[in-house]
Structure 1
Amino acid sequence: MVDVPPPFIPGAFVGTAHHYRVRVYFEDTDLSGIVYHANYLRYMERARSDMLRIAGIDQRAAMEGGEGTWAVTDLAIRYRRPAKLDDDLLVVSTVEAVRGASVVIAQRILRGPDELTNGHVTAAFLSPEGRPRRQPAGWADRFTAIMNGETIPC
């Protein structure tokens, strides 16, 4: 008999913030056992992608349908404390601004009550030709609802 693993548990919204858990694995660390700096960006990217999926923003359908895709156009990150092997981290993401073709998301990576990293990301929606384009219908409304703590229209 084979045990069936529990279903995948994604992140979740807690008020206006999206919470996403990450475990630090050996492959995430450098020779000193500390998380390599670029991996914090990967954790943040996973959290943003999960937040969009939960909000009903189907990035894959937009890309495959020829509407376009998101691209990071601005990023600021600050490293405050190191994460280490086997740490249980929480990535907290909040929408700070919504524009016609872009969104600004603030993110913090926490280990318990300690903030390890924080950053701000601006993502622009681009046409297949790589030019800024208005977000697909309804996406800006979803981001605004998230920002305001409203029920996400699905």
Structure 2
Amino acid sequence: MAQPGIDQPAAGRFDGAEHRFPVRVYFEDTDLSGVVYHPNYLRYMERARSDMLRIAGIDQRAAHEAGDGAYAIVDLAIRYRAPARLDDALLVVSTVTRASPASVVIHQTVRRGTVELTDADVTAALVAPSGRPVRQPRAWLAIYQRLIAANPTEGNA
């Protein structure tokens, strides 16, 4: 019988308003020169966002299975600053910066130690199975507002 917390996937953790998600660069993440292939930063960020939402109490799977909708990325601004390489230990830091009735904006950075490698602003909109935007559940908006308020750089903006 498995013990709780043992042999479970890493989900990262919250430190105040920041969700911190560690990742390691594997061979499959790199190009022939041993540098992380640029789309893989988006994969790291997606994993971090998904786990951040799960830990915060946003049940995307239940909403999707109930036919209430799913998040779709509707805007992405990404900046590449420095490369990551094979076997690097990275940290994806995610913070909610804005929330509206139908969307949420999350700022994400990928770091190696104190060096910021990549950062992005990601806007996800909740869309119905038809593809039309729908309102997020009030409970989700309340979670986002708490996270925004806990972020000293965003909560008072």
Report the alpha carbon displacement of residue 137 of structure 1 after superposing the two structures with TM: 3.0
What is the number of equivalent residue pairs in this alignment? 146
**Match for 2:7: what amino acid?**
P
Two-structure CA RMSD over aligned residues (Å): 1.3
The 5 Å alignment of 1:3-42 reads: 6-8=6-8, 9-42=10-43
The TM-score normalised by the length of structure 2 is: 0.90
1:111 aligns with 2:112: yes
8 A contact 1:68–1:126 mirrored in 2 = yes
Deviations for 1:34-53, whole angstroms, at most 9, x for unmatched residues? 00000000000000000000
> How many Å separate the matches in 1 of 2:71 and 2:131?
10
Q: Displaced runs of 4+ in structure 1, greater than 2 A?
A: 5-9
Report the alpha carbon displacement of residue 10 of structure 1 after superposing the two structures with TM: 1.6
> How many Å separate the matches in 2 of 1:20 and 1:49?
11
Q: Which runs of 5 or more structure 2 residues have no equivalent in the other structure?
A: 152-157
The 5 Å alignment of 1:1-154 reads: 6-8=6-8, 9-149=10-150
Deviations for 1:64-98, whole angstroms, at most 9, x for unmatched residues? 00000000000000000000000000000010001
8 A contact 1:67–1:136 mirrored in 2 = no
**Match for 1:39: what amino acid?**
N
The TM-score normalised by the length of structure 1 is: 0.92
> How many Å separate the matches in 2 of 1:16 and 1:107?
12
Identity score, percent: 61
8 A contact 1:108–1:115 mirrored in 2 = yes
Report the alpha carbon displacement of residue 28 of structure 1 after superposing the two structures with TM: 0.2
> How many Å separate the matches in 1 of 2:84 and 2:36?
5
Deviations for 1:110-140, whole angstroms, at most 9, x for unmatched residues? 0000000000000000011000000023101
> How many Å separate the matches in 1 of 2:28 and 2:6?
24
